[in-house]
Each structure stands twice: as structure tokens, then as C-alpha cells.
Amino acid sequence: MDMRIALFPGDGIGPEIIDAAKRVLDRVAAIYGHSFVYENFLIGGASIDAVGAAISDETLKNAKKCDSILLGAVGGPKWDDPNATVRPEQGLLRLRKEMGVFANLRPVKTYPRLYAKSPIKDELLRGVDILVIRELTGGIYFGKKRQGVDDDGVEWATDELSYSETEISRILEFAFRSAQDRRGLVTSVDKANVLNSSRLWRKTAAAVAERYPDVRLEHMLVDTASMRLISNPCDIDVLVTENMFGDILTDEASVLAGSMGMLASASVGTGSLGIYEPIHGSAPDIAGKGIANPIGTILSAALMLRCAFGLTGEAEKIEAAVEETIAAGELPLDLGGSAGTRALTDQILNRI
């Protein structure tokens, strides 16, 4: 049976890292007898240049017909005006909304060979295995935005942070189900000492926890969580939080792995159609040079095989090949090595 994958290379290094992931998927298909069918679509700056929109209605219509989505990165200096009416990131936000995804999963794992690449002490990095779950549909990103000038001529602006009990409950349910398959601990991050939305978050988390007696719940303020991620990362199993906090904390967590280029992500909802992408940006300064780190995208493809298609064994094979490649010292430039995008992908392919 054909598995249809929508490819959104995007901008900057996006096309290069998507090509690397596609090569890995093709190797897996050849070994295991699968059939992956790819369809390429525009998003971000590339779409703005082509059709004047960060993502077109036609693209969304056709992407929904696929079984899953693999995305590179969007943005770049060419489209970097924050006051522009059309911006690259609007394509990603609309894609998430149209696909009905509400949970962004970001696994954070450390590799012994890369301990020296992190500013964190080696002893704190051993055995780190965290799943960060970020809520995607609510919060300050999607709240009402207003700005103006007061009677004294002073400019002002507001961004509303809004959450409903329904939005909070479904992301917490996802976190507790995930923890059941891991170490059985959910760390719910909020700012309940200041924010009304966080007080509702904490109340809802406690209510959801009652339905999962086999999982332990701990509440943690976001400032404490930002410290704990660095001082005691091994104590964290599943960390779940709202949109803005999740955006910041996952970037912070990338220093544990040594580079943002190492981290994969999956944006999923109630259905099987998800969006899989590395957490890093489009890195326009190195685009076209063949030196981009493809590991985050390759691991995102592995996440896709596991979550979208139920191909757990195949996903584990890719993850093991990545780990073996790193252990052998085959490293990209951002991790102090000399392997270019294609050469590093070749090493991973050889180990699948």
C-alpha cells in the first residue's frame, strides 16, 4: 500500500535537509518493502515569491489528501520585515491550524559523544531522555492583538493570552498517555502565581491526573522549569506546557543535545495526519553550501514512521543508525566535525 508523504522543503537549507531525509526514507522502503509516494509543495518565502501567499489554498487542499507531512524550515532575510502583511511563518501557522494539530512533541536525548559540545557538565547529561509537549493552538500567539496611541502620543500594544479548559485538557491527556509508555512522570509547567490562564491550566492538570493513577503529576513554575532543565535534566520525563513557554523551553533544551540541529519534532492532533519537522530555522547563511546538519530532519522522518504509520521497527532502525554514526565520530560542522550534509547522510544510510 502506498504511503503518501507531502514534502514542504521551504526556505534556506530546507530543500537540502528534506532531500537527506527522503534518501533515508527511500532506503527504509527498499529494505522493508514499503512504498512511499512523495508530493512536493511550497511554503514560507518560496511560496510568497511564487504565489504571493505563505501557503496557498490549493496547496492546503492537496496536502490534506496525503497521509503525512515532512517539513524543512521557513523564513530568511528576504522576507524578514516584521511589519510585512505576508510573512513566511504565517504559512506554518496556517498549516498547523488547517491540519488540526494541537500537540507539538519534541524529544530531547543526549549522546555520550556529544557531551563536550554542550555547555552543561557531563555528569548532568548522562541518561537524559525528555519528551517536551507544547500546546500549539492557544496562548499568546493566537490571542487578540491590539495597538494604538494614547492621548499623550505614547504608543501601546497588547497581546491576549487565552486558554479554554478544553484546550488544556486535551494536551494534558496527551501528556499523560505519553508518560504511561515512558517513566510515568508528567511535569506540568505554568506561571500560576501570576497568570489566570496558568491557574486554570494547573486546576485542569490536577483534574486530568485523577484519571491516570499510574502516572505521577508535578506542577512547576516556568522559571523553575528553566533552571531544572539545566541543573537536573535527568529528573524530567514528560514536560507539558502552553504555547509560548514551550517555544522557549524547547530551544533551551537543545543545548543539552549539543545543537538545535539534533532535535526533531512532531505536530499531531486527534487524527493520523501530522507535521514532522526539525526544530531549527532555515539557516540562510549556510544554504546551498552542502554543510547543513540533516540529523534533526532525519529523526523527524523516524518520528513520522512511528507516529503516522505505526512503523516502530523502521523508526528504531533509523534512530540506531544516527546514534551509531555519532558514536563513530561522524559529525556535522555545527558539532565540530567535518561531514557535509550528503556525506553524513551516507554514513547513516550505511548503518541502516
DSSP characters for 279-298?
Answer: SS---GGGTTTT----HHHH
Q: What percent of the chain has pLDDT over 90?
A: 88
Is residue 196 domain-shared with residue 270, that is, in the same domain?
no
Please indicate whether residue 111 is annotated as part of the active site: no
List 19, 129, 159, 247, catalytic entry: 247
The DSSP bridge partners found for residue 216 are 185
pLDDT tier at 77, thresholds 50, 70, 90? very high
Catalytic (active site) residue 159? no
Annotation marks residue 141 as catalytic? yes
Q: What is the pLDDT of residue 82?
A: 79
pLDDT at residue 28 tops 90: yes
Residues 340, 270, single domain; the answer is yes
The string of pLDDT tens digits covering residues 81-112 is 878 899 999 999 899 988 989 999 999 999 99
| Half-sphere exposure at residue 75, Cβ-oriented, CA atoms within 13 angstroms | 13
Residues 139 and 230 in one domain: yes
Examine the domain organization and report whether 248 and 143 are in the same domain. yes
Residue 221 lies in a domain: yes
Catalytic residue among 19, 26, 159, 251: 251
- pLDDT of the residue at 200: 98
Q: What is the pLDDT of residue 327?
A: 94
The one-character DSSP state at 66 is S
Active-site pick, 81, 223, 235, 285: 223
Residue at which a domain ends, from 223, 242, 257:
257
The tally of domains found in the chain comes to 2
**pLDDT given for residue 80 in this prediction:** 87
- Let me know whether 72 and 199 are in one domain: no
Residue 108 is predicted with a pLDDT of: 93
Distance CA 114, CA 125 (A): 10
pTM more than 0.85: yes
- What is the mean pLDDT of the segment spanning 199-210? 98
Residue ending a domain, among 257, 282, 314, is: 257
Check whether residue 245 and residue 133 sit in a common domain. Answer: yes
Position 170 scores a pLDDT of 96
Q: Which of 22, 109, 191, 317 is catalytic?
A: 191
135 shares its domain with 236:
yes
64 is catalytic: no
**pLDDT given at position 316:** 96
Q: Are residues 169 and 70 in the same domain?
A: no
Shared-domain flag, residues 132 and 88: no
Q: How far apart are CA 8 and CA 27, in angstroms?
A: 20
Asked, for residue 238, whether it belongs to a domain, the answer is: yes
Expressed as residue numbers, the domain containing 278 is: 1-104+263-352
- 123 shares its domain with 97: no
Q: Which residues pair with 238 in a beta bridge?
A: 131, 186
Position 114 in a domain:
no
Whether 118 has a pLDDT exceeding 80, the answer reads: yes
Tell me the percentage of the chain whose pLDDT exceeds 70: 100
Mean pLDDT for the chain overall: 95
Q: Give yes or no for a contact between 141 and 277, defined as CB atoms under 8 angstroms apart.
A: no
> Catalytic site residue 191?
yes
Nearest Cα neighbor of 70 from 335, 318, 273, 237 is 273
- Assess whether 239 and 273 both reside in one domain: no
Does residue 110 form part of some domain? no
Tell me the chain's radius of gyration from C-alpha atoms.
Answer: 20
Q: Is 310 helix (H, G, I), strand (E, B) or coil?
A: coil
Measured between alpha carbons, how far apart are the two ends of the chain, in Å?
22
Spatial separation of the C-alpha atoms in residues 17 and 5, rounded to whole Å:
15
pLDDT for 272: 72
Answer whether 350's CB lies under 8 Å from 328's CB: no
Domain annotation covers residue 111: no
List the CATH number of the domain containing 156.
Answer: 3.40.718.10
Q: Is the dihedral of CA 97, 98, 100, 101 positive or negative?
A: negative
Distance between CA atoms of 255 and 280, rounded to whole angstroms? Answer: 12
Per-residue pLDDT at 260: 85
At residue 273, the pLDDT reads 84
Q: Which of 232, 257, 282 is the last residue of a domain?
A: 257
Q: Is residue 27 part of a domain?
A: yes
Model pLDDT for residues 250-289, shown as the tens digit of each residue: 889 888 988 888 999 999 997 778 999 999 999 999 999 9
pLDDT tens profile 286-338: 999 999 999 999 999 999 999 999 999 999 999 999 999 999 999 999 888 99
Res 347 pLDDT > 90: yes
In a domain, 337, yes or no: yes
Q: CA 54, 57, 58 angle in degrees (round to 5)?
A: 110
Would you state the pLDDT for residue 271?
73
Q: Are residues 268 and 252 in the same domain?
A: no
Digit-coded pLDDT (tens) for 33-76: 999 999 999 999 999 999 999 999 999 999 999 999 999 999 99
